[in-house]
A and B are shown apart, each in its own frame.
Chain A
């Protein structure tokens, strides 16, 4: 064992060089994640005001037991999961549909790919602001269009139900292109032979998609699904810009709740406790993703 350690520390040993090349990246990431994580747990057991002059009071698990009975926290957890499940489902279904449209074999479709990518590459702040402007009740272009076709104005951000769905629309606008790109890449790599064989055998197109195409794109499909799930779990920017968690807590997602508790209400300790719970949920989700990705990589 000690022999092994001296080998690793021997800087003249050429066999160690690959290891040394990985170390800076690993070290920096450990420094920026593991140490803050331990510190986070420490903070979460205290009442911890932002101002360093105010006293810190040790509570142990007090804040966790408080949180598990706090209706606002439970509600924000529910909103986060609801937004995640609904948003991601729509984005995957719409993304699949668009990917199929984009794989139509004509020259025109190739011109559509680039414009479809733009939403993913602009800042969520910009996206939130444009939509907030378009959703405006009196001045927004959307209500003008709705009124001119005789449907009547919608109070997009004014009622809890509507605000929730407006956020879903914005999220869908920004991230459907992402799922589309991944699923399209999957479709492009499908071997056409079994599809032709199935066509000859008289299968209809839905059957072909269900039994031939889908199984072969299933791996890449899970990649899209799980990436989106974890990103949707982090939701903050659009909520902050468009709804600030309201009205009536209908868009009060966990990310926004933590930010507000920490940097608006000055309760870093309580926010840290929420963060610990959030990181546990994220770890479970990530664990599932990593297992699936690992399975895919090993199959290759």
Chain B
């Protein structure tokens, strides 16, 4: 599809891209804009394109009444812990599978098949088990459960970064008298540092955004941001101002991380299929 294209077609292609750009960006724009309106402006018909910016939704969201900041903090704790747990488990496994082909292709595929399990299926038995252990609504429940979701991703991702380092580099280090630990920490780790960071960030974002497991395994104390936002839908009314403000706050961090780590994150999303 590369070939040369005419000027008219170029213009056509770019304008189509602009239309799709609007389609993908408008909802996000509308969310942010709505969160900055006061209650009257949110419900104004016709919608107000220009309005005086009001932070009333954010003041409420950040007040102790709503407790939303606590939920953001809970999300941050769960996501950080999970990213660290996952990396600690994934790194040695990925190293072993990349350098020694441990378990061969079958082990790699077993990890992949874990990713295919619908989370709701695991949720029922794990809920009964976690209830018995008294782990429901604790800060440790979500970081552990998200290992199931993130570990297969992380292993594939780190392995795909390691596979790109030529084995000759390891071998020459061994010849120089370097130990295995030396090779791992002085050669592999520095070379795949961007990959390690991307893996951590990827696990962090996946945990941050997760809803179903968080919804089932938290009650009050450990509620995360997505569950908190969803709770603004009440029986009587839907509080759009608070919802859009909460949704914006919950999306800022993933979007910033995406901008910083974009290329390497895509690799995680596709289990290393896209390089």
Contacts and interface: CB of A to CB of B under 8 A. Distances in A.
B270 A21 contact: no
Nearest to A256: B120
Contacts of B27: 127, 130-131, 134, 173
Interface residues of B, number: 99
Contacts of B131: 52
Interface stretch (B41-49, B50-58, B66-74, B192-200): B41-49
A101 B17 contact: yes
A126 B270 contact: no
A259 B120 contact: yes
B125 A36 contact: yes
A132 B229 CA distance: 13
Contact of B212 (A37, A102, A237): A237
A125 interface: yes
A298 B108 CA distance: 12
Nearest to A52: B131
Interface string B168-210: 0000000000001000000000000000000000000100111
B240 interface: yes
A205 to B, nearest CB: 7
B96 A21 contact: yes
B13 interface: yes
Interface string A86-128: 0000000000001011111110110011111111111111110
Interface in A202-240: 205, 208-209, 213, 220, 223, 227, 230, 233-234, 236-237, 240
Interface of A: 17-19, 21-22, 24-26, 28-29, 32-33, 35-37, 39-40, 43, 52, 98, 100-106, 108-109, 112-127, 129-134, 138-139, 141, 144, 148, 173, 177-178, 181-182, 185, 187, 190, 192, 195-196, 199, 205, 208-209, 213, 220, 223, 227, 230, 233-234, 236-237, 240-241, 255, 258-259, 262-263, 268, 271-272, 275, 278-279, 282-283, 285-286, 289-290, 293-294, 297-298
20 contacts: A22-B107, A29-B152, A106-B14, A112-B20, A117-B266, A118-B24, A118-B258, A121-B258, A122-B251, A133-B240, A138-B45, A185-B270, A220-B273, A220-B274, A223-B270, A227-B270, A240-B211, A255-B120, A272-B124, A275-B121
Given A24-B89, A262-B123, A263-B216, 4 more contacts: A52-B131, A120-B269, A129-B247, A133-B34
